[in-house]
Amino acid sequence: MEQLAANQTFRCILATVLAVGNFLNGCKAKGFELSYLGKLSQVRDTHGRQPLLHHVCVLLLQLYPQSSDLYSDITAVTKASKCDYTQVQTNLSQLESLCKASWDQLRLLEKDGKKKKGGGRKEEGGEEAALHQRLTQFLKDCEERLKVLRAVHRRVINRFHSFLLFLGYSRSMVRETSAEVFCKTVSDFALEYRATRSAVLQQREREKEKKNSQNTPKLRPRLQQSPAHENQEQVKLEEVLKTPESPSTSSFHFDFTLPRQRSKTSDKKGCPSRKLKW
């Protein structure tokens, strides 16, 4: 009860479920019965067929990102859900009945011992007296422990009823609600909530990784080679292609550094025109 009362995630879940329920039903209810928490996974939307619990988890992660998975915070509630408090009360009543019957049997033994005391020996009388004393002390201890257990059980149940009133239960509902059913409802819901919340977080991680992979530029199929490792002639050709040609040098000119062959007729006639062979 202390874990639930102090848990902020549990309060946020109740507030979110109440707001969603009022929106869907078109009303302004001040609260709802906690048994409805077990039905959130059964109600599905008409578009994506996602359960209502999925949408509650998405809203909580958006509005309250600091919230926890709830199940890890209420381990005491999970342990309490495995205990049958109705059976505990029945066991206490049975123990009280057995203790009372044991007192009655001890009194009968005491009467029988007084009747046989006159003809018996002193040693046997001493042993019976010692046994009677031990039995009496044992029953007194059992009776005191039963009183303590009964008081503890009564106080725990009273505190549980006060806790239900704190949650907004009516007095008639408080009398009808058992502790084990309440704890099991909350524990089962917390387990479903943790599983759904984990699935939502994993889906977000996958979408984030997919988005990052799409934004990452693809590697070029062919890596550029360093000029130091390329062919020297290829480098020169690229430099020529990249250099813009100016108007002053637009006229065609020959490179006379290349080897040429002279024509025999031109040498003989002395004609200034020359025919170059490339």
| Dist CA 9 CA 73 (whole Å) | 9
Residue 11: exposure state from Cβ atoms within 10 A (0-12, 13-18, ≥19)? middle
pLDDT at position 86 is 85
Residue 14 contacts residue 21 (beta carbons within 8 Å): no
pLDDT at position 252 is 46
Provide the sign of the torsion angle of the four alpha carbons 160, 161, 167, 169, taken in this order.
positive
For 95-123, the pLDDT digits (tens) are 999 999 999 998 888 887 676 665 555 55
Task: Write down the residue that tokens 């011992």 correspond to.
Answer: 113
pTM of the full predicted structure?
0.66
Phi, psi angles (nearest 5°) of residue 55: -70, -35
Measured from the Cβ of residue 197, the count of other Cβ atoms closer than 10 Å reads 22
For 22-79, the pLDDT digits (tens) are 998 899 988 888 889 989 989 888 888 899 999 999 999 999 989 999 999 999 999 9
pLDDT at position 137 is 93
Contacts of 235 (CB under 8 A, 6+ apart): 227
Residue 161 contacts residue 173 (beta carbons within 8 Å): no
Pairwise pLDDT comparison (184 vs 255), residue with the higher score: 184
pLDDT at position 273 is 52
Mean pLDDT of the chain: 81
Nearest to residue 76, comparing CAs of 177, 183, 156? Answer: 183
pLDDT at position 249 is 47
Nearest to residue 74, comparing CAs of 14, 132, 174, 1? Answer: 1
